[in-house]
Amino acid sequence: MYAHFKGVCQSCKLAIGTNGPKWDIHHLTYHYHGRLYDTPAPELIASGVITLICRLCHNKEHTAADPESPRHGENRACCERCGASERGIMDRKKGEQLPQLLCRQCFLLNQQGVTQTSLFI
């Protein structure tokens, strides 16, 4: 991802490192033929599903720290299975048409048929 975009944030267009060393893969949608996490990154990039942005822009996209921002706290919620707070959780529920809010870890376990009750069988 980093090399594909030549280390440039696709939101602010600055070289990653200008606003801090961290970068994120930003999901523009979580719905991709029911196989988002099994699809190679180049295909997802070409399809406009993911992009590369710096951490500052990613925070602005999802969880703006500025309480005056209309996006403040957007798309951050607690997993209804384990309680973890995570960005992107609302998009995952909507995009994957899930019956409950699931963090990435619980979502992947759910795809494998693992539930909290099946862990103890």
Query: Is the entire prediction scored with pTM above 0.85?
Result: no
CATH number of this structure's domain 1-74, picked from the four choices 1.10.10, 3.40.1800, 3.40.630, 3.40.190: 3.40.1800
**Which of 62, 50, 107 is closest to 81 using CA atoms?**
107
Reported as a single tens digit per residue, the pLDDT across 40-97 is 889 999 999 999 988 888 777 766 555 665 555 566 777 888 877 777 777 788 788 8
Mean per-residue pLDDT for 34-42? Answer: 84
Could you identify the residue written with the tokens 């988002």? 36
Strands (E), 1-121: 23-27, 50-54, 76-78, 85-87
Reported as a single tens digit per residue, the pLDDT across 82-117 is 877 777 777 788 788 888 888 888 888 888 775 544
Domain boundaries, the chain: 1-74, 75-121
